[in-house]
Chains A and B, each alone.
Chain A
Amino acid sequence: MATSSTTRAEPRDVAAAPVRVRLARWRINAVLLICLLLIGRIVLRLGELQIVRHDELREQAYQEINRQIPLLPTRGVITDRLGNVLAMDVDRESLWVIPSLIDQDDAPKLALTLSALVGKRPEEILEALTDQEHYWLPIARWLDPKVSEQIETLAEPGLRLQYEPRRVYPQGSLAAQVIGAVNYNGDGIGGLEGFFNDALKGVSGSTEGQFDRAQKPIVIAPSRTVPARNGVNIQTTLDPLIQYVIERELKLAVEQHSADGGSIIVLDPRTGAIRGMASWPFFDPNRYDDFPEKVFSSNPAVTDVYEPGSTFKMITVAAGLQARAFTADTQVNDTGVVFRYDQSLSNWNSGANGMLDPQKVLYYSSNVGALHLNELTGPENFHKALREFGFGQATGVELGGESGGIVNSWGGPSFNDLNFLTNAYGQGISASPLQMVQAAGAIANDGVMMKPYIVEQVCEADNTNCTPTAPVVAGRPIEPGVAWTIRRMLVHSANHYAPVVWGPVNGDYGDQWLVPGYEVAAKTGTSSIPLDGGGYDPSYTIGSVLGFGPADGAHFVVLVKIDRPKDDIWGVGTAIPVFQKVMDELLRYERIPPDPALVSPGQEQ
């Protein structure tokens, strides 16, 4: 004990010991009391927050930070056969306004400024800027990036720019009816956009987790993400140059003849691939709602039907030859007018052509001759052939709203004998332009009819895992020999109408090569237009040409159809120049060398 006290005493001797301050006991107690009170308050508050209001506050917190944010898929791209983009999604900024944040004194001035930028009426914008009933109002959607930049420089607190996906058609109206459009809800309307809407649209995903005020995910919190699946990419069979050429020629023809409309289709008969498809009037899918619904929601080349007129005579001849009802040498007497079932049936000019074989029936486009041939064929064989050529049923092309046409089939309730006879020259029967092209394709392709298709391949969003469309044989309605025979007949028919194009050029109005350097097969037609109340339109017709080239080993089947031309009711005058120009360009584009022996005098250029 003594040692200990000595040890403790030593420092006191050598160093100054801290001065011990004795606080009054009550002061310590007071501080402790205050601390206890504070701690008690904290404990009470904690108890209230953690226990009493636990459920309510937890719910509130979850609502604030727990979010399910949708992940929108990107709509697939549509391209032509060379990969040029026809339709794609682009994010564009849309302009919104929060009226409560707008200085109402400056609103008129701001409305004028915005009006100049977004191209809307100032009154309309001012109404949105001064609307105090809504928190958030749209002003303009999908602004041009330059306009968005200009709006941003205004630094107006009440204006908000928000990105939205916008469907863009960079080629404008090119192939618009085939491509279709996308409405404001992002759904396809018409064309491929409508037919493949679900596949193009993709599947939405979502992220479920905790987010801060800036919508940024709080990474340390658990989250669950279901990624969006982007839409598929579709490559079409359309050739950009062919599409461009047929649209250009169709527009020129419609304007030249003040026609109401028209269609041109180009199909590869070897595969059934549609290389071009155009119908007037065109529309720009970027602003589809500026056009009538009928224009942007239908594709007349597929959805509309017409009475094919004399172009159908090639089917009439094919049906008879295939059924062995007559041969290429069989003669029928064209008297110009015949009477059947108390009706007078006549040629276009009621003129007689005398004894005609099937080639001359096509050459003179004789209605009476075709009628006689059909009588030889008989209704059973004729309608069997129609069925095998695909009439009365949709082709199955990947385009919405396709029409199957109207055929009063033999044995059916609507069949009648007179109708059967007029069918011989394309009256009393309706077909879509695509059906006519498909049928002519069988003649061009040695009797093998290919199913038309417009989709070359469908690929996953990252352009991997592509599924190409395999050409499908739709039928073999005629034998190769029959097809060859009809092709020879159609070459003469085409050359018979060549003077319409070449007469004014070389002064020769006799038969000559329609497309110099090539053998081209074609048949013209002038279709009467049925009226709703019965009978036919006495004033207007549809002029058309259906043909293919080269005649042997054809690469293209082309249909040109001009609706209700005002200056010429005959298909020869309206459609054959267009057909000639289109076919000439196509054959050269396909790099098929012309044969110098197939050039008539005065056709050299």
Chain B
Amino acid sequence: MAVNTQRMSPSIEGARVRRLALPRYLRLDGGRFLLGLVFILCLMSLIVLVQTGSVATKGYAISALEEQKVALTRERSLFQERVARAQSLERIRRRAEQLGLRPITKDQVRYVDLEETGDRGQEIGARAPSTAPPEEP
């Protein structure tokens, strides 16, 4: 059986020694529990911190959205006001006159009593009844 008798390089040998010595450092006896507790506390603190940060961020986002809502509500009410002003009959009359419209005169009005004539008229979109005689089959 061939045996390599060549010595390992000093750096590799050092690493090996350190690896072998590692458990010695981890042997903390009672201290390991303390460290564990600190770790858990840190973790919990971190969770709380992240959660609080997240809530605060969302809170400011809500606040910003509420401000936006108020601004939009104000804008909407301004538009409603403009619509309401535009519905003023005096304004409509002036606008109609600007467009060249004039009030209807009495002789331009025709009253048609549909119930008495029995003619219910033609529905919008319906085809007019044909006056041509029916075609021969």
Q: How far is the CA of A168 from the CA of B109 in the complex (A)?
A: 38
Interface pair A244/B78, CB less than 8 Å apart? no
Interface size class of B (residues with CB under 8 A): 20 to 34
Query: Which residues in chain B, 18-74, are within 8 Å of chain A measured between CB atoms?
Result: 18, 21, 52, 55-56, 58-60, 62-63, 73-74
Q: How far is the CA of A59 from the CA of B16 in the complex (A)?
A: 64
Q: How far is the CA of A88 from the CA of B21 in the complex (A)?
A: 84
Interface pair A588/B109, CB less than 8 Å apart? yes
Q: In the assembled complex, how far is the CB of residue A61 from the closest CB belonging to chain B, in whole angstroms?
A: 18
Interface pair A88/B17, CB less than 8 Å apart? no
Interface pair B105/A91, CB less than 8 Å apart? no
Whether, in the assembled complex, B135 has its beta carbon less than 8 Å from a beta carbon of chain A, the answer is: no
Q: With a CB–CB cut-off of 8 A, which chain B residues contact A218?
A: 56, 59
Q: With a CB–CB cut-off of 8 A, which chain B residues contact A91?
A: 73-74, 77
Chain B: interface secondary structure? helix
Q: How far is the CA of A218 from the CA of B60 in the complex (A)?
A: 8
Q: How far is the CA of A222 from the CA of B117 in the complex (A)?
A: 75
Interface pair A145/B78, CB less than 8 Å apart? yes
Interface pair A15/B88, CB less than 8 Å apart? no
Interface pair A170/B14, CB less than 8 Å apart? no
Q: How far is the CA of A166 from the CA of B83 in the complex (A)?
A: 17
Whether, in the assembled complex, A89 has its beta carbon less than 8 Å from a beta carbon of chain B, the answer is: yes
Interface pair B17/A85, CB less than 8 Å apart? no
Interface centre among A14, A84, A240 (most CB of B within 10 A): A14
Of A14, A216, A244, A593, which one neighbours B13 at CB under 8 angstroms? A14
Q: How far is the CA of A219 from the CA of B54 in the complex (A)?
A: 11
Known: A14-B14, A15-B10, A216-B60. A240 touches B89 (CB 8 A): yes
Whether, in the assembled complex, A5 has its beta carbon less than 8 Å from a beta carbon of chain B, the answer is: no
Chain A minimum-CB-distance residue to B63: A216
Whether, in the assembled complex, B107 has its beta carbon less than 8 Å from a beta carbon of chain A, the answer is: yes
**Total A-B pairs, Cβ < 8 A:** 82
Q: How far is the CA of A266 from the CA of B55 in the complex (A)?
A: 61
Q: How far is the CA of A588 from the CA of B74 in the complex (A)?
A: 41
Interface centre among A91, A145, A170 (most CB of B within 10 A): A170
Interface pair B17/A217, CB less than 8 Å apart? no
Whether, in the assembled complex, A153 has its beta carbon less than 8 Å from a beta carbon of chain B, the answer is: no
Known: A11-B14, A90-B81. A593 touches B105 (CB 8 A): no
Interface pair A163/B63, CB less than 8 Å apart? no
Interface size class of A (residues with CB under 8 A): 20 to 34
Q: With a CB–CB cut-off of 8 A, which chain B residues contact A15?
A: 10-11, 14, 17-18
Interface pair A241/B77, CB less than 8 Å apart? no
Chain B minimum-CB-distance residue to A214: B63
Q: In the assembled complex, how far is the CB of residue A482 from the closest CB belonging to chain B, in whole angstroms?
A: 32
Q: In the assembled complex, how far is the CB of residue A427 from the closest CB belonging to chain B, in whole angstroms?
A: 39
Whether, in the assembled complex, B113 has its beta carbon less than 8 Å from a beta carbon of chain A, the answer is: yes
Q: With a CB–CB cut-off of 8 A, which chain A residues contact B124?
A: none
Q: How far is the CA of A10 from the CA of B19 in the complex (A)?
A: 13
Q: In the assembled complex, how far is the CB of residue A87 from the closest CB belonging to chain B, in whole angstroms?
A: 9
Query: Which residues in chain A, 588-604, are within 8 Å of chain B measured between CB atoms?
Result: 588, 593-594, 604
Whether, in the assembled complex, A350 has its beta carbon less than 8 Å from a beta carbon of chain B, the answer is: no
Chain B minimum-CB-distance residue to A240: B89
Interface pair B87/A170, CB less than 8 Å apart? yes
Chain B minimum-CB-distance residue to A16: B14
Interface centre among A171, A219, A244, A594 (most CB of B within 10 A): A219
Interface pair A605/B77, CB less than 8 Å apart? no
| Contact sample, A vs B, 10 pairs, CB 8 Å cutoff | A14-B10, A14-B14, A15-B17, A88-B81, A90-B81, A168-B81, A218-B59, A241-B89, A244-B89, A594-B111
Residues of B that sit less than 8 Å from A by CB: 10-11, 13-14, 17-18, 21, 52, 55-56, 58-60, 62-63, 73-74, 77-78, 80-81, 83-85, 87-90, 105-107, 109, 111, 113
Beyond A216-B60, A219-B59, 4 additional contacts (C-beta under 8 Å) are A15-B14, A85-B81, A90-B74, A240-B87
